[in-house]
Every structure is written in structure tokens, then in C-alpha cells.
Structure 1
């Protein structure tokens, strides 16, 4: 996987303040998140971030990727793909 740390738009629902991502836009394409494998909390440069390991079917192939949610600014990033 390649590190990208690219800002993305994510459609998610929240339960008790915890986001659950459903799909995101990357280069004009909408990608549905098939499965969230794990979620952890980490600190990056003092900023709390939620770290999601996910997988989706992209171009007919199941691919893993990682996205991050910055709690202070409510921004989403595609970390690895």
C-alpha cells in the first residue's frame, strides 16, 4: 500500500460521537466501503485521529485501504491505498 494522506469527502453516520464511514469520493468516483475491518484511536502531532482499516471492491477486485478522521477539525483523509 502507498501512503497518500489525501483529503476526501466521506458519507458517514455517527453513533454516540463515533463515525461509521459508508462511502467516499476519490477523483470524482464514489467508492462504497464494503467492510470496516478495524478502528483504532491514535495521536498524530498531538491531534486525536480515528484510524479505520477498510476494504472495498474496486474495479472488480477486493482492495484494502486505510482512512483517518481528525476529531478536532472533522476532516477525513485517505491514508493508504
Structure 2
């Protein structure tokens, strides 16, 4: 895999605007997000996990996008209680 490894990702935890589709069970699947004037397309979701912080459930999506011909890993978080998306790491 080219690009940054998971060790070199920077924690951002910035709220993003998201376009996603949902399964019949209500599980969101991200398509693309916008942070300021930049749009990040989700090329592939490599894994989905769930965490609980202070009683707040979140889905964590490990994803990849292509920027300038390189695959760049990043992580998105979806907060179930508020339905908010965050760019967690990139």
C-alpha cells in the first residue's frame, strides 16, 4: 500500500458534511465528505468498528481515498446519538 501508514496519521477530529447511504438496519455508509472547501471521496471502506466513549456510541470507518495518484488512509467517525460525522484521522 502506498501513502501514509496508520502510524503516521494525524488526529484531526473535525466535523464534516457527509453524503452517505444507509442500510435497511440504519447503518450508514460514507460516500464523500466536505471539510471547508475540500471534498474527500471515499474510494474504499476497509473496516468498520464500534466504540463507546462516555456512553456515546460511535462507528469508526477506516477508509482510503486517492490523492495525486496515491492511496491515502483516513478514519471517519459517526456519532449515533447526534448523527454527526467527523474526520478523525488523516
TM-score of the superposed pair, with normalisation by structure 1 = 0.95
For structure 2, the 5+ residue unaligned runs are 1-8
Q: Write the distance in 2 (CA, Å) between the matches of 1:42 and 1:10.
A: 20
Equivalent residue number for residue 66 of structure 2: 57
Are 1:3 and 2:7 counterparts?
no
Q: Distance in 1 between matches of 2:15 and 2:89?
A: 12
**CA contact 2:58–2:79 (8 Å) conserved in 1:** yes
Q: How many residues of Structure 1 are paired with residues of Structure 2 in the alignment?
A: 81
Normalising by structure 2, what TM-score? 0.86
The correspondence for 2:54, drawn from 45, 49, 53, is 45
Q: Which runs of 5+ in 1 are unaligned?
A: none
Moved >3 Å (runs of 4+): none
